[in-house]
Amino acid sequence: MKFGTKAIHAGIEPDPTTGAIMTPIYQTSTYVQRSPGDHKGYEYSRTHNPTRTQLQNALAALENGKHGLCFSSGMAAVDAIIKMLKPGDEVISTNDLYGGSYRIFTKIFQNYGIKFHFTDMGDLTKVESLVNENTRMIWVETPTNPLLNIIDIKGCAEIAKKHKLLVVADNTFATPYLQTPLDLGADIVMHSLTKYMGGHSDVVMGAIVVKDDDLHQQLAFIQNSCGATPGPQDCFLVLRGLKTLHLRMERHCQNGRQVAEFLKGHVKVEKVFWPGFEEHKNHKVAQEQMRDFGGMVSFVLKGDKVEDAISVLEKLKIFTLAESLGGVESLCGHPASMTHASIPAEERMKAGLSESLIRLSVGVEDIEDLLSDLERALR
C-alpha cells in the first residue's frame, strides 16, 4: 500500500464484536477471565488495551516496523529507551537536541551513571571519534530541534553496525511520511505523538517502533513494569489523527517552504534555518533520506537582539505563541526561554542556538494569511 492508504487502513481491523469501522474506546481497567490465566489476550489495561493495540499496530505499519509501543508522553518513551542501559554505559547524541531530551539525559540518567556525549552529528567523523568500549547507543534527532540540522541516519547506522551499537532515531519532526529511519538502518524509532502524528494539539503521547523481537520484549517489559502507558481515549484521538497525516504533512510542507522563502528574502531577517535550502549544510542528505523538508522553520533577525525577537512574537496573531508544535494551527516560540530553557546558555550558544532565535511550526492555514501575519509582525 502507498502511504496515504496505509495511514487509513494499515494495522487497523474492524471491531470483532460489532463490526465498527472505527476502533472503539475500550474504557476499562480490567478484563473478565474464564479461569485463572485463561483470557482473551487482555488482563489489565496497563499491560494491554484493545484501543492501544490498534494504535501500536498502525504505528508499526507506518514506520515499516514490526512492533509498536505507546507511552503517556514522548518523554516517557525516551525514558523507557534509556532504561535499557546500565551504569557505565555511554550514549552519543547531537549538541542541537530537544531540551526535554537533554534534561532527562543530564539531570536524571547521568545521576545513575550513564554518560552522554553531545556533538555536531552532521559530521560523522565526530560521531565515530567518540565511540569507545563503553558506548552502547547513538541517539539521532533529525531534523533537529530547533536549528533544523540534518543527521545522516544511514551513516550513523553504518558506524553503529561496525561497533555493535544501537541507533535510536527521534522521528518527531519528520514523521514516517517524510522518512522511515528503520529502513535506513536505525534499530529504534521514537516519537512524540503529541506533535504531527496526533496533529490537533489535543493529546499528549509518545511511541516507540522496532523491527527486532528481542528489543520489543525488552521495551514492552519496561512499558508494563514502569507503567507510563496512555489511556484509550488518547489512543483513539491519535488513531483518528493518523488518518489525515499524509494530507496534513503535504500542506505543512507546502506552507513551510513558502514561509522559509519569504523569511529568507525579508530585509529584517539575518538567517533562516530550513533544510530545503541548497546552502543548508546537509541539504543533500535531507534530499536522500526525506520525501520533503517539513513544516518547521527557525530564523534570527538582523542585529540578533532578544528584545526584537520578543517584539515579533508578541505581534504575531495567527502564529500563536505557545509550547509544542505539529498541530494544524501555526505556532511560534522562543526556544531559549521556552522549549530549550533547560539547556545552559553556554551550551546553547556553542550549538549555534541564538538567544534571539524564533521557531515556527507552520500550520495548514491559508498561506496568504500566514505570510501577512509575518509581514505585519516584522514591520
Q: Which residues are catalytic?
A: 46, 98, 170, 195
- The grid cell for 237 is 484521538
Which residues make Cβ contacts (< 8 Å) with residue 268, sequence separation at least 6?
Answer: 301, 302, 378
Q: Answer whether 115's CB lies under 8 Å from 108's CB.
A: no
The CA distance from 80 to 227, in Å, is: 10
User: What does the longest C-alpha to C-alpha distance in the chain come to?
Assistant: 73
Provide the sign of the torsion angle of the four alpha carbons 116, 86, 218, 109, taken in this order: negative
The CA distance from 367 to 251, in Å, is: 10
- The grid cell for 343 is 539547556
SS3 for 102-171, per residue? HHHHHHHHHHHCCEEEEECCCCHHHHHHCCCCCEEEEEEECCCCCCCCCCCHHHHHHHHHHHCCEEEEEC
The CA distance from 210 to 216, in Å, is: 6
- 501500536: which residue's cell? 56
Helix or strand run (H / E) with residue 331: strand 331-333
Which residues make Cβ contacts (< 8 Å) with residue 341, sequence separation at least 6?
Answer: 99
Distances (CA, A) of 110 to 86, 92, 105, 182: 11, 13, 6, 27
The CA distance from 274 to 62, in Å, is: 25
Residue (of 315, 312, 340, 304) closest to 325 by Cα position: 340
Total Cβ atoms within 10 A of residue 75 = 20
The CA distance from 2 to 113, in Å, is: 44
- The grid cell for 175 is 514523521
Name the residue type at position 267.
Answer: V
